[in-house]
Amino acid sequence: MFTGIVTELGTVTSVLQGNGAKRVTIEAPRSSTGIIVGDSISINGVCLTAIEIDADSFSVEIVDESLGRSTLGTLTTGSVVNLERPISASGRFDGHIVQGHVDGIGTVESISLEGDAARYRILIPRELARYTVEKGSIAIDGTSLTITAVSEAGHETPWVEVVLIPHTLAVTVLGSATPGSVVNLEADVIAKYVERMVGESL
């Protein structure tokens, strides 16, 4: 489990196409320290398994299922990615519950500056709109963010807005996003469980 607090920006150093999977190596000295083969790590919000570790880098395999449901298929040498290692049982919980299971892909529609902060409007898939609420949580490229506004129910092109503080702009890949950029989205898992339980009780 993750909390959506990005701990390091990694740089992709190689992408190799295999049989039904891509092997991606990421330079990330901080994230590579103390992990072992088999450990999980979140890459742009996708939970993956480290299969090889060097002094300052690690490698993962991304299967077609994950490539098709996320933006990781667009990674190339030089791409910068958000990284987060799982929270330990005794760790501090700063964001919200993030599973690393991408629910859909969004598109940055607009970015407007508000002083040193920036307001992002993200177009989201219709099936995710019901899980979004003003002041609720959403993970965008693995970053835990508070939703500041949502489109009206039944909107033809649903969207959410989030405001990024200067620190978040500096330490996550969202700081380099532009209108048209695609991002991984994970809805609040609590909303999904509530929907399931309510549906079964009707």
Q: Is residue 35 one of the residues assigned to a domain? A: yes
pTM of the model: 0.93
Pick the closest to residue 70 from 82, 56, 88 (CA basis). 82
pLDDT at residue number 90:
63
pLDDT at residue number 151:
97
Q: Which residues make beta-bridge pairs with 81?
A: 10
What are the per-10-residue average pLDDT scores of the chain (202 residues)? Answer: 94 93 97 94 97 96 95 97 86 82 97 98 96 96 97 93 98 98 95 82 58
136 in the same domain as 178: yes
Domain span at 162? 104-201
pLDDT at residue number 81:
98
CB 57 within 8 A of CB 27: yes
CA–CA separation, 30 and 66 (whole Å):
25
110 in the same domain as 79: no
Q: How many domains is the chain partitioned into structurally?
A: 2
75 in the same domain as 110: no
